[in-house]
Amino acid sequence: MLIAQITDTHIKLPGRLAYKTVDTAAMLHVCVAELQQLKQRPDLILFTGDLVDLGRPEEYEHLATILAPLQQRIIAIPGNHDERGAMRAAFRAGGYLPGEGFLHFAIDDDYPFRLIGLDTLIPGEGGGELCAERLDWLDRTLGRRPGRPTLIMMHHPPFQTGIGHMDRIGLKGAARFAEIMARHPQVELILCGHLHRTIRASVGGRPALTCPSPAHQVALDLDPDAPSAFRMEPPGFMLHWWTGAGFVSHTASIGDYPGPYPFFDAEGKLID
């Protein structure tokens, strides 16, 4: 089974650019076209937050028109740029978001693994939080199916990245989250967004990843006082292959690049 992860699409009203620079809608159109042309078709698409830029219902409508060509099921959790009410309404037809409260959920039996979505949103803030109520829900939910391989998706990564301005809008509650991860070894992988680039860390012994954006990327600068900045590095998405025994994750760069070139000639000799 193959999962495509898309994150931080930051869709605005038609014609508006993010930070007066990034045409996020045009870039998501390109991403959607690439997904449709993949040789191996993803079975499921996960969105890990910051779907729209200002949380407005009209932005979710714009997002839906861009995603319309995709036939796969789309499962989404909110980021700090999303708004619970507007997102709940926009994704109501998916049937997995609860009707009230936090936008967290567990999909137990639809896939060969269990899928848990978390809501790290604090309305009006850039940083995120897993408060006691959300962490208790997660601990209880994991405790119900300890033997089932589990994939967790959440927007704010539960680890320090070293990119100072992003860590300052990181996740509150990360220490207890790590302690919960250590007690639930069935968690195979934690998928995150928010960082607009690929980063890997270990959280309570479980692997955690952030994913590039199909639009702008957060600048790679590990100075704790680095200025808050983005770069137009190659946009991307991730593919997570469920092998039956675990997940293998790939980053895909969006765009036209030279190649593919063969390594070997027609006689099977290495080209040199």
What is the smallest separation between the CB atom of 236 and Fe ion, expressed in angstroms?
14
Question: Residue 80 or 161: which CB sits closer to Fe ion?
Answer: 80
Q: Residue 256 is encoded by which pair of tokens?
A: 């036209």
Question: Residue 79 or 170: which CB sits closer to Fe ion?
Answer: 79
Residue type at 270 in one-letter notation = L
What is the smallest separation between the CB atom of 254 and Fe ion, expressed in angstroms?
16
Query: Applying CB under 5 A, which residues contact Fe ion?
Result: 8, 50, 79-80, 194
CA-to-CA separations, 182 to 81, 142, 149, 193, in angstroms, rounded: 30, 12, 14, 22
What is the smallest separation between the CB atom of 161 and Fe ion, expressed in angstroms?
12
Buried/exposed code over 199-211 (b: 16+ C-beta within 10 A; e: otherwise): bebebbebbbbbb
Question: Residue 22 or 142: which CB sits closer to Fe ion?
Answer: 22
What is the smallest separation between the CB atom of 247 and Fe ion, expressed in angstroms?
23
What is the smallest separation between the CB atom of 81 and Fe ion, expressed in angstroms?
6
Q: Residue 29 is encoded by which pair of tokens?
A: 């159109």
Question: Residue 42 or 193: which CB sits closer to Fe ion?
Answer: 193
Question: Residue 194 or 240: which CB sits closer to Fe ion?
Answer: 194
- For the four alpha carbons of 214, 76, 145 and 202, in that order, the dihedral sign comes to positive
What is the smallest separation between the CB atom of 228 and Fe ion, expressed in angstroms?
12
Question: Residue 19 or 101: which CB sits closer to Fe ion?
Answer: 19
